[in-house]
Structure 1
Amino acid sequence: MSKKQYFFLILILGSLTALGPFSIDMYLPGFPAIAKDLNTTAARVALSLSSFFVGISAGQLLYGPLLDRFGRKKPLYIGLAVYIATSIGCAAIHTIDGLIALRFLQAVGSCAAGVASMAMVRDLFPVKDSAKVYALLLLVVGLSPMVAPTMGGYVTEAFGWQSVFVTLAVMGAALLLACVLWLPDTYVPDTTLSLKPRPILTNFWQVLREPQFYTYTLTGAMSFCGLFAYVADSPLVFMDIFRVDAKVYGWIFAGLSVGLIGASQVNSVLLRRFQSEELVMGALVCQVATSVVFLFLTYFGWIGLYGTVALLFLFLCCLGFSSPNTAALSLAPFAKKAGSASSLMGAIRMGMGAVASAAVSVFNNHTAVPMVAVMTVTSVLALLILLVGRKNVQAQPAELEAMQLAEPVH
């Protein structure tokens, strides 16, 4: 394909992947306003974030078999339609329970975009290019935490928090139109696949029992839990504890995202010399060290706003290295079942993230300790999973070679 086609394809796939994160990040500055208008607390509003994570986790398991059975585009269209309708519903809702329920359904719709885009990468690009393409997608996704909270802060203050969801509905409609007009068909539907529960579960089990899949999927999911803890608790940490307003919070959130984005792009350069396995190990060791120091300083109250921002930046840099590599290593063994593997990987990641975000809300004590504690515990567990699980990975030499990227994509 030409450079123009390659760029445009990455832009569409990246935008699809970013839809879920954008739906999370854009409404975070509106937590206080939502709590006030719906006569509830910011902690209860945070449950609408947890329900979103649960919806993405459950929805990914739904869309995986559908993408393999009917192709990539039809399930994607249905998911985007659900997303648009529920976004409009969120803007019109008047109760916190209704918002929590609609956010669940909105997530189910949005995750079709994420699962489809991940599967299409496996369809369209050679395995040896997967980690680099995922890093490029992460670059587009990384614009979400840079743009969404800042945009959300200004939109909320100017027009009210409901306008955030109207904006999301418009974005969903634009993506649906782009997919209909310009996204290629990348997969021939496998009509032999059954959508009955037992064959679907058997298919998932066949994917899950692959050592390379479960080792790097669980490692990536556990390490990513720290990001969910940060996203769920950052409105309280910055706006309640450090007393910054919604606009400043948006800029802080955007600035921190530079660590995640920048590291993911440096990762593409390092892949010319190092294997994905090596980069994952190095990133997790650094992530554990950073989170342990962060927890120690936070627990004893020896760190303020600037120190918190600095350590969060380092933590997100570590995730920028580990995330694209664990994704590529998880999906590398699959071609025919890429849709199911992608959905299962996403479901595990989002499900564990939902637990992490809920834990932060449950143990909320009006300090940053619960957030940092979750970040530390999950980082340590991710490293332990990798150390134990990689002994069971028996990749073929060709697969190991495929994880190395000798030349950049032009």
Structure 2
Amino acid sequence: MNTSPVTGDASGLKVPALFLLFVGALAAMGPLTMDLYLPALPTIADYFSVDVASVSATVSTYLLGYAIGQFFGGPISDQVGRKTIGVTGLLLYLAATLGIVFAGTVEQTLVWRFLQALGGGSATVLAMALVRDIYSPIEAGKRFALVMMVVMIAPLAGPAAGTYLLHFGWHAIFWLFAVYALALCLSLLLFVPETHPNPKRSISLSRVFRQYGAVIRYRINGRRIAIRFPIAMAFSGGVMMIFVTQSAAIYLEHFQTGETLFPLLFGANIVVLASGNLASARLLGRINPQTLFRSGILLQLLAIGSLFLVVLLGLDRLYVVVPLIMLGVGSIGLTNPSGMTIFMSYFPRGGGSASAVFTTLMFSLGGVLGSLPNLFPGHGLLPTVSVMLGSTLVANLIGQAIPPVQVAGAVAG
């Protein structure tokens, strides 16, 4: 990593020139770990002599472990510092990944997958906190968008890389995860400074809940407005989590696209999502972030509402469904950077806890929403798009009703 220093505009702390690339790679570890192995699900099922549904349970298991890791990792990093939690989480992720490589049953794989997610979640939750520690709200928002774009580009190559690595056996995918975690851990240890201004030496689990309480109860003009942003973003992001969880069922089973076409269809969503993040990076500072936020969730509602009607009317052709899913998922590229810019601006010293509130909500909610369509087998795409529609409806009911707020340095709404 290039260690030529760059100074943050808010903290004055010198960070490596490739700091944002490191943060993006750290944040990308979560979705990459989930997306890269999706094409391998049938192969892993054959290896353990079980059905695909049994192996698909590792997706929900991963989301659960990831949510728990983020829940504790963020607030504890506000206590003892970012590096301590980051290194610990990455080492747990590395050890659990090796456990998966040598697992003898699908049940063992589920346990190791949970621990892998626990470590990964506690480390990756630090990404947004690291950025907020260093930059002022609007500058942090622009960098949130760039980091999220890196996060989106990584899964773009994920399924394609996973398909390629299957030529060497499904274990090769997890060997890659192990090398990735090791590289991040060494980079964090050797090149990235501690960004938390006053880390302590002891951990208080009771204080974790007090920190969450402070974020949840935070009031603007006597009203709990701040917490509404992560709740709305979690439901909007739920559309993406539903798609990720059900993507194999949508494309491989319903449309029978085959494993070669699957990564291209999956990647098309990431292209639109990354484009939205790039647009957000350019627009934040020129357009009021709340305007971008409201536009993003409204665009998602229109896209998913149209998708629901298409499926309900029996017009669910691949060439119709794919663009609507792309638009519904891609709109998050406008919603999340702007929403995070507003939300994180209220917590300059509690960035770990604030970031964890959002990510825990998104992944725990995503795990629940993603599994709901499985309760209604044999009904085609309708259960999936119905849950998607419900999720974006809630996001709009909450998000559109948030009173106007102002962020320091932002264009007035």
Letter paired with 2:301: V
User: Given the alignment, which residue of 320, 323, 326 partners 2:339?
Assistant: 326
Q: Is the contact between residue 232 and residue 360 of structure 1 (CA under 8 Å) also seen in structure 2?
A: no
Does structure 1 conserve the Cα–Cα contact (< 8 Å) formed by 2:72 and 2:208? Answer: no
- 1:191-235 deviation line (CA, Å, top 9, x unaligned): 3986042x3212211111122431101010010001011001111
More relative contact order in 1 or in 2 (CA 8 Å, sep 6+)?
Answer: 1
CA shift in 2, pair 1:286/1:196, >3 Å:
closer
Give, in whole Å, the separation in 1 of the partners of 2:328 and 2:117: 26
Deviation, 1:42, is 2.0
Q: For residues 272 and 123 of structure 1, do their structure 2 counterparts lie closer, same or farther at Cα, with a shift above 3 Å needed?
A: closer
Q: Counterpart in 2 of 1:309? A: 322
TM-superposed CA distance for 1:6, in Å, is 6.6
**Higher helix share goes to which structure?**
1
Q: Alpha-carbon deviation of 1:250?
A: 1.3
CA distance, structure 1, for counterparts of residue 242 and residue 92 of structure 2: 27
Question: 2: CA distance between counterparts of 1:378 and 1:129?
Answer: 30
* Structure 1 portions without partners, runs of 5+: 406-410
Residue 187 (1) aligns with residue 196 (2): yes
**Does 1:76 find its partner at 2:86?**
yes
Spell out the pairing of 1:6-405 with structure 2 (5 A cutoff). Answer: 7-156=17-166, 158-191=167-200, 195-197=204-206, 199-210=207-218, 211-365=224-378, 367-388=380-401, 390-391=402-403, 395=405, 399-404=406-411
AA at the equivalent of 2:302: A
Q: CA shift at 1:104, angstroms?
A: 1.2
1:402 Cα deviation from its structure 2 partner: 3.4
| Matched residue, 2:11 | none
Cα distance in 2 for partners of 1:260, 1:6 equals: 27
* 1:261 alignment partner AA: A
Inter-partner Cα distance in structure 2 for 1:192 and 1:202: 18
Task: Check the 8 A contact 2:236/2:391 in 1, yes or no.
Answer: yes
Letter in structure 2 aligned against 1:255: A
**Closer, same or farther in 2 for the Cα pair 1:88/1:194, shift >3 Å?**
closer
Alignment RMSD: 2.0
Letter in 1 for 2:262: Y
1:269-313 deviation per Cα after TM superposition (whole angstroms, max 9, x unaligned): 222431110011111111111101101111232121121111111
What CA deviation, in whole Å up to 9, does each residue of 1:245-266 have, x standing for no partner? 2222112212221000001111
Do the aligned partners of 2:242 and 2:370 also contact (CA within 8 Å) in 1?
yes
Q: Tell me, what secondary structure is at the counterpart of 1:186?
A: coil
Residue ranges of structure 2 left out of the alignment (5+ in a row):
8-13, 219-223
Give the CA deviation at 1:403: 4.0
- Cα distance, 1:90 vs structure 2: 1.3
Distance 1:254 1:303 in 2: 20
CA contact (8 A) 1:154 1:247 kept: no
Aligned residues of 1:46 and 1:361 also touching (Cα < 8 A): no
Which residue in the other structure is 1:408 paired with? none
| Deviation of the 1:328 alpha carbon | 1.8
Cα deviation for residue 242 of structure 1 reads: 1.6
Partner AA of 1:381 in structure 2: V
Per the TM alignment, residue 2 of structure 1 is displaced from its structure 2 partner at its CA by: 4.3
Q: Note closer, same or farther for the CA distance 1:171–1:97 as it changes in structure 2 (3 Å cut).
A: same
Moved more, 199-208 or 146-155: 199-208
8 Å Cα contact 1:53/1:350 also seen in 2: yes
Contact residue 285 and residue 410 of structure 2 kept, 8 A: no
Task: Judge which range, 186-195 or 105-114, deviates more.
Answer: 186-195
Q: Is the 8 A contact 2:125 2:356 kept in 1?
A: yes
TM-score of the two chains, using structure 1 as the length reference: 0.92
Contact 1:16/1:117, CA 8 A, preserved across alignment: yes
The answer on whether the counterparts of 1:83 and 1:172 sit within 8 Å (CA) in structure 2 is: yes
Q: 1:326 to 1:371 in 2, by over 3 A?
A: same
Give the TM-score taking structure 2 as reference length. Answer: 0.91
**Residues 25 and 144 of structure 1 are in contact (CA less than 8 Å); yes or no, is this contact kept in structure 2?**
no
Letter in 1 for 2:343: S
Quick check: 2:25–2:150 contact (8 Å CA) kept in 1? yes
